[in-house]
Structure 1
Amino acid sequence: MTEAYLSYNNIVSSLGFDSETVVNSIHNEVSGLQLIEDKARFSQPFFSSLIDEKTLKDSFANLKPEGDFTRLEHMMITSLNNVIETSKIPLTKRVGLIISTTKGNIDALDKNSKFPKERAYLSVLGHVIKDFFNVKNDPIVVSNACVSGVLAVAMAKRYIDQGVYDDVFIVSGDIVTEFILSGFNSFQALSSQPCKPYCKNRTGINIGEVAASVLVTNNKQNLAKEAVIILGAGSCNDANHISGPSRTGEGLFRSIKSAAKEAQISLDSIDYISAHGTATPFNDEMEAIAFSRLGINDKPLNSLKGYFGHTLGASGLLETIVGMHSLFNNTLYTSLGFEELGVSQPINVITQTTKKSMNIFLKTASGFGGSNLAAIFKKVNNV
């Protein structure tokens, strides 16, 4: 089987417009979450991590675009451009493009949008990005709730394993809109405070926005210093409820077992878990149960939602990129917002940013519709 590597990467977020700046902010326990009091966005105050509008417009303008582009397209193209330029890979027929998002250009449906409603189609978003970079192959658009970002990584690995592509660029993104906020508010899932994953005092999620990009490649030569091997991935649907996860963690349990089987490793060799940790009562409890059933609840674990909020379809890729840097830096980053354990099973939530020699990490994600995904990554030697 051909090895697939995660290599060059970029994050465009409230904490900065490149991965190193973002990870440095996380190291210093700086959160991008702020109280937003803007009735044009939502009828009540909410905590979110919003990308600075002026910085985004200026960065996008440097690319000398022609035509009109949505805010999400600004974010995604800015992020992906960084990775394409840094990797120096020509966009031939051997290069694929995967776009992952939950809601895409959902703001095109707003009454005051200057874009036609057709712009909200995910296929249109895919072709806008393809055409901007003149990618030779049609884009693959992945929209499977909140596992979309890391599912795109698993799909890219499959394409490389099967010899379809030598290189695959992935870009993930979602924006904060009234439509999305009102949806989560209707579930009574929005917190009026910064979120507290796995904490006894958690009261729900914050919604954030981000764009993240990465190169998946079969070429071990020209890799980024923080590159990792994708050892294995697994995805199982728990078929429980449209918005409620399995009470037994069955889908996540099976996903992790499947990923470990493909990776051909023992779960004992995992050094760190980058978990989903939305700070909702049901998600955090489900994850703790799944980790306990697998006997990995003693592994150091964090959720990055305290830094960005829940960035929907982009969250999995964003957190995978931070995990790559965590391995490279041999550093466990604190799970911001956590104070006191609030799940039924004991889990080892990271409470202090700490140096630790690491080799392998597990990334998990779960989402609406019962979706679950687990992926296992290992440091690349001699890089």
Structure 2
Amino acid sequence: MGKVYLSYNNIISPLGSDSVSVVDAVQQGRSGLKRINDPRLSPNPFYGSRISSEELKDHKSIPSPSKSYTRLETLMIAAIDSVLKASNLELTDRVGLFIATTKGNIDVLDKAHPFSEDRAYLNTLGKVIQHHFKFTNEALLVSNACVSGLLAVVMAKRYIDLGVYDHVIVTGGDVLSKFVLSGFSAFQAMSHEQCKPYDLNRSGINIGEAIASLLVTKDTQLLSDDAVQILGGSSCNDANHISGPSRTGEGLYRSVQSAMKEAKIHTEAIDYIAAHGTATLFNDEMESVAFDRLGMNLIPLNSLKGYFGHTMGASGLVETIVGMHSLHRNTLFASLGFEAIGVSKPIHVIPETKQVPLTTFLKTSSGFGGCNTAAIFQKIKEN
């Protein structure tokens, strides 16, 4: 198998409408989370992040969501458009399209929504995006709870390794909706303040919006300055509970082990971990147990949920792209909101942003139903 790379990328979030602006905000310690009071989404005010219409101001060619596209479709089109223009990729039959989302156009099920309920089907979302750009191949929809974004990247590598495609455009996204917010509220998992992953005083999750896209390719002529090689990836379901994570971290433990085996590297080669870190009691504790079992207690670790909130199906993709820029800038980004360790195992949470030489990072994601995904990325050149 040849080498596979992650290259041109774009993030649209409350922190900016391109990856560089978003990562600049992260490096400066700015958060996109705020108190949102919108009765159309929730009867009670909540902390979260929401993309404003201003974030699309640089994407003049994208039609208004009120005409042909839903809000999610509009944002995905904008994110993909940036990657295609930057890479100048020709959409032949050797190019795949993978779309990662947890709930897709779930908001169209609201009776007040202008689009028909048929738009909520994931295959319809795939057809809309495919036809807009005229992709030759049908879109592959990846919807596996909150590991969807990272899993789509790992799957893209597999498809390229197998010779099905030479390049894959991966996009991921979810938008705030009454359905999702009411679900997390029913779990009593929503925090009344900005989330604090792994912190002793954390009180729960914030839900956020972000859309991300990137190019996965085997072509060394299509590498951006921040490109990385994906060394290995794996996904494992521990089938522990419909929503609760395994208390032993079994699925995450096995996912990381398998990813490292494929990457042919040892723990000492990992410079930092871009963890899931939702700021819920059970998730953060599960991760600390898994990383302890893996002997990764001393490896610097962060969660980006304090900047974006939990962006569901997009989270693994957004956080992978920020990790690419972290390697490019040789900068460890602080786990925003963290002050004192609040899990049972002594993991090394990054308290403040600092510059250090970086080469390799591990990205992990976990989600409902016991799903877990891990992938390892490495800098391919000194930038």
Give the Cα–Cα distance (whole angstroms) in 1 for the partners of residues 55 and 21 of structure 2.
Answer: 15
The amino acid of 1:283's aligned partner reads N
Give, in angstroms, the shift of residue 43 of structure 1. 0.4
Pairing 1:186-335 to 2, within 5 Å after superposition: 186-335=186-335
Q: Which residue of 2 aligns with 1:365?
A: 365
Give the Cα–Cα distance (whole angstroms) in 2 for the partners of residues 46 and 382 of structure 1.
Answer: 43
Structure 1 contact 248–290 (Cα < 8 Å) conserved: yes
Cα deviations across residues 265-304 of structure 1 (Å, max 9, x unaligned)?
1121100000000000000000000000010111000000
Give the Cα–Cα distance (whole angstroms) in 2 for the partners of residues 109 and 289 of structure 1.
Answer: 39
Q: State the TM-score, normalized to the length of structure 1.
A: 0.98
Q: Which residue of 2 aligns with 1:356?
A: 356
Structure 2 contact 363–376 (Cα < 8 Å) conserved: yes
Indicate yes or no: 2:21 matched with 1:30.
no
SS in structure 2 opposite 1:151? Answer: helix
Backbone CA RMSD of aligned residues: 1.1
Structure 2 contact 64–74 (Cα < 8 Å) conserved: no
Q: Which residue of 1 aligns with 2:61?
A: 62
Equivalent residues, number: 382
Gaps of at least 5 residues in structure 1 are none
Cα deviations across residues 207-254 of structure 1 (Å, max 9, x unaligned)?
000100000000112310010000000111111000000000000000
The amino acid of 1:16's aligned partner reads G
Identity over aligned residues, as a percent?
59
Give the Cα–Cα distance (whole angstroms) in 1 for the partners of residues 332 and 173 of structure 2.
Answer: 25
Q: Which residue of 2 aligns with 1:97?
A: 97
The amino acid of 2:229's aligned partner reads I
Give the Cα–Cα distance (whole angstroms) in 1 for the partners of residues 37 and 350 of structure 2.
Answer: 31
The amino acid of 1:217's aligned partner reads T
Cα deviations across residues 130-178 of structure 1 (Å, max 9, x unaligned)?
0000000000000000000000000000011011111100010000011
SS in structure 1 opposite 2:352? Answer: coil
Q: Which residue of 1 aligns with 2:74?
A: 74
Pairing 1:174-193 to 2, within 5 Å after superposition: 174-193=174-193
Indicate yes or no: 2:129 matched with 1:143.
no
The amino acid of 1:2's aligned partner reads G
Give the Cα–Cα distance (whole angstroms) in 1 for the partners of residues 39 and 53 of structure 2.
Answer: 17
Give, in angstroms, the shift of residue 2 of structure 1. 1.5
SS in structure 2 opposite 1:342? Answer: coil
Give, in angstroms, the shift of residue 64 of structure 1. 5.1
Gaps of at least 5 residues in structure 2 are none
Give the Cα–Cα distance (whole angstroms) in 2 for the partners of residues 352 and 63 of structure 1.
Answer: 38
Q: Which residue of 2 aligns with 1:166?
A: 166
Give the Cα–Cα distance (whole angstroms) in 2 for the partners of residues 303 and 372 of structure 1.
Answer: 16
Pairing 1:43-58 to 2, within 5 Å after superposition: 43-56=43-56, 58=57
